[in-house]
Chains A and B, each alone.
Chain A
Amino acid sequence: MEREFYLSFEGKDARIFLQPPRPKTREIKRVSPNNLDLSSVRITNGLNALPATEETIEAMRQGDPEIDLQSIGGILDTTTRAYYDPDTKEVATSFQVYNVVLNPDGSEKERKPFTPRHQNTNHESNPVKVGKLVPRDALFRKFVISGAFQLVHADGVQYEFLHGIAKTLEDRNHAALLGAGAKGNAPLVFQENGRPMRCALTGEVEGENYKLLILLLGQELKLPADRREDA
């Protein structure tokens, strides 16, 4: 994930740094009854994938071609993803990828060719813009926060910039909505082909210290339409 973050606030902008939350101090791990650490491996189970043909059916009458005793328990180390025809079991040498957008009820809304989503939080010319200010409490009641990053500085000028934003937000007890792209209204994409996220900025100040957090807004805090009718 890109560590630099290009941010614009009230006509000034700077490339600062994203920092994740501190890791958990208490780690629970799985061990065997002998108290040895456990790790996960993938193994082959000895099943042969056969095409659904008359020849296969006939072969299964005569023997057990669906079982490959030679390959049972083989550890899979390095593998690559492959797409294949489910009927012939042949690897496809050319294919097309589509994104199918599904409605909440599972019905298809639209289908479009896959286009990669590009990271936009450290764009060469379009900073992430600090937009509308909203009451902090209202933000917490309307949206589900699914994660957060901290913005930190690397030099004195960046420190003044970030400390100033945090103080502005704290003084007003507001959060700020963030938008990426040329118009400053697109969701944020933190890494190539990453999930686009709506985000907000909150700030706190304690003397010279500050805490400026980017909150990832996973969904709205509300019931689906069909459950609202039942309620």
Chain B
Amino acid sequence: MKTKAISFRLGDQEISAQLQSQVKRSDLYGRTAKVVTDKDGKSLSTGVLTQEGRLLEKTQFAGLSVDETGSFNGSAQYVCDGEKVEAKPASFKEARELEKVSLDALNEFAVEAVYPIESETDLAAGLYATTFNYTQSVEPKDCLILVEEENQSYLLTGRRLEFSNVGKAVIYNLFDEGEEAEEEEDADFDFGDAF
């Protein structure tokens, strides 16, 4: 199993570990693909029809970033509140700080990627918070590392969610209109044997 060396800092202690490749949902349960066929069973390809009625294949158009003048030369920059944001190196190139947190932090955290991790340094079981970016990035992801004594440990990247306690009076947040339906996928697990 190919792994990547990664390190962290917990106070004065340097923690070294090996990060395995991501475990995706499809690795566990497979996935569902949509196939379109004609009446004879021949697979059809997907393209787009322009307003003029012209058919375009996916290879016939490309995405481009433009400013209000219609185009731009050079590389894009990143800003936040008017200040330029520099990219941070990948997590494998610097040791990020770890902070021990309660397991309850997982209650308000949306995980986007799961990586099995093996610590080479003694690290007490529990949950640790840090940031993580697999490649250079202007916005590293929030990250929680679940360290287990007996079972596999995992590095979970994603983002912290924020919810407020609700009193008797409620201020409603509206959903964004026009959300697209997600790609459909079978939920191939149930709770039968879990508990």
Contact = CB atoms under 8 A, between A and B. Distances in A.
Please indicate whether A and B come from the same complex rather than being unrelated chains: yes
Given A79-B49, A194-B184, A153 B66 contact: no
A148 B163 contact: yes
A91 B1 contact: no
A192 B111 contact: no
Contact of B65 (A40, A103, A146, A195): A40
B123 interface: no
B48 to A, nearest CB: 4
B30 to A, nearest CB: 5
Contact of A29 (B79, B107, B151): B79
Interface in A212-231: 212-213, 215, 218-224, 227, 230-231
A224 B181 contact: no
A14 interface: no
A222 B25 CA distance: 10
B80 A198 contact: no
Interface stretch (B4-12, B90-98, B169-177): B169-177
A141 interface: yes
A136 B195 CA distance: 12
B170 A153 contact: yes
Contact of B75 (A33, A41, A79, A84): A33
Would you list the 9 A-B pairs with minimal beta carbon distance, nearest first?
A36-B67, A209-B165, A32-B72, A21-B161, A79-B48, A83-B44, A32-B67, A22-B162, A140-B106
26 contacts: A28-B138, A34-B69, A38-B76, A40-B65, A41-B64, A42-B63, A76-B50, A81-B46, A81-B47, A82-B46, A83-B44, A86-B44, A98-B35, A136-B103, A138-B195, A140-B107, A141-B146, A145-B107, A159-B168, A195-B187, A196-B184, A197-B187, A198-B191, A219-B189, A223-B23, A224-B28
Interface of A: 1, 3, 17, 19-22, 24, 26-45, 47-49, 76-86, 89, 91-92, 94-104, 109, 111, 114, 117, 132, 134, 136-138, 140-148, 150, 152-154, 156, 159, 162, 177, 185, 187, 191-198, 202, 204, 206, 208-213, 215, 218-224, 227, 230-231
Given A21-B161, A80-B49, 20 more contacts: A1-B175, A19-B172, A21-B162, A28-B139, A36-B67, A47-B59, A77-B51, A98-B37, A101-B31, A102-B33, A137-B103, A140-B107, A141-B146, A141-B151, A146-B111, A194-B181, A198-B187, A208-B167, A223-B152, A227-B23
